[in-house]
Structure 1
């Protein structure tokens, strides 16, 4: 009887423990967790992988599609934390002032923040104030930013980062260390070094091989 009583007691204790775990109850004291640092997690989007088709609407109402750019233009998606702030202004005016160079290179620019489209501090007012020639995309539900791993976990604003996609729809680089004032210069220099020049060299090599007389 003593053995049977012990087995019943152990069984009841085990069931109680399982119930506590299921309901999130623990005998251990609650230890306050340290705030987690900003997380940068690229889920489906990483360098060298194909970008999924994006169909977005800019704050101006313009419909944007990454698929329509395929084989025609490269795409720079630049994320910025907040409208009407110093570094964000520098980041976007850097691109604005070099926008003709982006067009010559065949690079489309989209800018994304978690700001709303409307309001005195919204994207439409910001774009008008800076006279930006490229679209701003309001990501108030943070879906785009989360997809790219571009959300500050504490403030829930977009991180300052850029994603460069080539004409084939491949993510060529993800830049998380943007220099706001010189961002346009840095993007164009990297495009030339990693995409434009290698492409010209490859085409020249192909032409040379095709015109080489047979042995």
Structure 2
């Protein structure tokens, strides 16, 4: 099944950079979630994208929206990367079963062993309101995220 706008977002539970479990369902009825899949910690485009989120966090995360970033990197890698870059939002590890969450969102490549760039805005009811899927070398235009967040808030 492919996740599309208007469909329920697949629930998941993953460990964050501190080893704590976070579930998408934890936010249901409380906050919308901006779910950002990225291929690899410490890579150039991924670092640039998440540093843009970090540097303008209030545009993406607030009392109504939570940013969750997901890769197939192990917890130890995302912990080191989060500390190095000063990320103040959860980085989640889809390491094992390898890429299972990315696969459920249609962004995991089993041939390559990582998730492509996928962005999903999930409302408080757990319904996908915005999505984009980009290839691993294709940086995202975050203005689309800002526009989707404004539409959701309206």
| Common fold: TM-score over 0.5 | yes
> Which residue of 2 is the match for residue 143 of structure 1?
100
Question: 1:99: Cα distance to partner?
Answer: 1.1
Mapped to 2, the partners of 1:53 and 1:158 lie a distance apart of 17
Mapped to 2, the partners of 1:181 and 1:163 lie a distance apart of 12
> Which residue of 1 is the match for residue 78 of structure 2?
123
Query: Computing the radius of gyration over CA atoms, which structure comes out larger, 1 or 2?
Result: 1
Mapped to 1, the partners of 2:106 and 2:15 lie a distance apart of 20
Mapped to 1, the partners of 2:61 and 2:92 lie a distance apart of 19
Asked whether the 8 Å contact 1:75–1:165 carries over to 2, the reply is: yes
Question: 1:105: Cα distance to partner?
Answer: 5.9
Asked whether the 8 Å contact 1:59–1:123 carries over to 2, the reply is: yes
Relative to the length of structure 2, the TM-score reads 0.86
Q: How does 1:153-164 map to 2 (within 5 A)?
A: 153-164=110-121
Q: 1:65 to 1:153 in 2, by over 3 A?
A: closer
Aligned residues: 150
The structure richer in helix per residue is 1
> Which residue of 1 is the match for residue 41 of structure 2?
83
Correspondence for 1:106 among 53, 64, 78: 64
Question: 1:168: Cα distance to partner?
Answer: 1.2
Q: 1:156 to 1:130 in 2, by over 3 A?
A: same
Mapped to 2, the partners of 1:124 and 1:168 lie a distance apart of 30
Relative to the length of structure 1, the TM-score reads 0.63
Moved over 6 A (4+): none
Question: For structure 1, which runs of at least 5 residues remain unmatched after alignment?
Answer: 1-42, 198-215
SS class of match (2:34): strand
Q: CA RMSD in A?
A: 2.0
Mapped to 2, the partners of 1:181 and 1:53 lie a distance apart of 24
The structure richer in strand per residue is 2
Asked whether the 8 Å contact 1:94–1:182 carries over to 2, the reply is: no
The higher-RCO structure (CA 8 Å, 6+ apart) is 2
Mapped to 1, the partners of 2:101 and 2:114 lie a distance apart of 12
